[in-house]
Amino acid sequence: MRVIVFVVLILLSACSGGKSTVLSFIDKETAECARQFEAGELQNHEYRAYCETWAIKRRINEAALGFEYGDLVALLLVKRMELARRVDEGTLTQKAADIEYDAFYADFRRELKERDYRLDTGARPPEFNYCKIAGNRLLCSRLPRHDFFESARATINVECDRRENTGEIKTAEQYVICTLGGWLDWSSRYPLLNRDLSELLFDFAITLAKKLDGGEITKDQFEEEVGRLFRQVEKEIALRELRRKRLDPNWEHRACKLDNDGWLECLSS
């Protein structure tokens, strides 16, 4: 039964001079696109935003900084494009757009500084702040370090093993609820990456545990089916991380579900 506990591990992992480099890219490409705009080479603000977007993305990718900063830069460019379109549509003045962008850019620079500090102190990208656009601002929530999650997971598993050994946990379903369910309940206070996949694994494991308890499947079949879904989850996380590196602002937001045969299906948002 204890094979179940390993499925949580991958959900917490993802398989410098960064700040100054990123800012120099942004400053240089923004200035070049502004020059083209003033010269009449770009017909409106949206075209200017496209110019900045593709040039900055290319620079980030060439410098291989997408893993550390890709999601953050992508959000900045999304905000830049949104404001440009509103100015072109006449629903926002250029002055108001500049004020809103300056505030967002200040949030962006603060987060860059935070990420550089955390890189210098040994943090990994999955432990960076989780950022999203919230109205006119960039909102970032702090993710605890990997070892903090690991310590909590280990504590939960030890307690569940103790309860199983003393007879308090008598069924496979109870063990899954204690381990994976306990983990999901504990981690709900934090912005855990890939939580949707954790919940799918939990629901799937519960369904199989009930079948195991009812004698419909064997323990080997239980472990084989959970392992199969686990491997699919690994592939999905790797794909999400690839999208993060490619500066996709929706890198984590893919609608995933299980089909009738227990296979993972995910669609881009």
What pLDDT, on the 0 to 100 scale, is given for residue 12? 35
Distances 8 to 108, 110, 185, 201, 240 between C-alpha atoms, Å:
31, 32, 13, 9, 17
What pLDDT, on the 0 to 100 scale, is given for residue 25? 86
Residue finishing a domain among 109, 141, 173: 141
What pLDDT, on the 0 to 100 scale, is given for residue 191? 66
Residue finishing a domain among 141, 165, 198: 141
What pLDDT, on the 0 to 100 scale, is given for residue 269? 57
152 & 235 share domain: yes
User: How many structural domains is the chain composed of?
Assistant: 2
34 & 108 share domain: yes
Question: How many helices and strands (H and E) does the chain possess?
Answer: 9, 4
113 & 195 share domain: no
110 & 172 share domain: no
Beta bridge partners of 81: none
Residue finishing a domain among 81, 110, 141: 141
The closest of 97, 88, 81, 87 to 49, measured between CA atoms, is: 81
Phi, psi (deg, nearest 5) at residue 140: -125, 130
Kindly tell me the sign of the dihedral angle through the C-alpha atoms of 260, 261, 262, 268: negative
What pLDDT, on the 0 to 100 scale, is given for residue 21? 79
169 & 192 share domain: yes
Rounded to an integer, what is the distance from CA 232 to the centroid of its chain?
Answer: 17
Q: 59 is in which domain, residue-wise?
A: 18-141
What pLDDT, on the 0 to 100 scale, is given for residue 1? 52
| Contact predicate 107/138, CB 8 Å | yes
What pLDDT, on the 0 to 100 scale, is given for residue 11? 42
68 & 106 share domain: yes
From first to last of its 269 residues, the chain has per-residue pLDDT tens of 554 443 443 343 333 445 567 888 888 999 999 999 999 999 999 999 999 988 888 888 888 888 788 888 889 999 999 999 999 999 999 999 999 999 999 999 999 888 888 788 777 666 678 888 988 899 988 776 667 778 888 999 999 999 999 999 999 999 999 998 998 888 877 766 788 888 899 999 999 999 999 999 999 999 999 999 989 988 998 888 888 778 787 777 778 888 888 889 988 65
133 & 34 share domain: yes
168 & 127 share domain: no
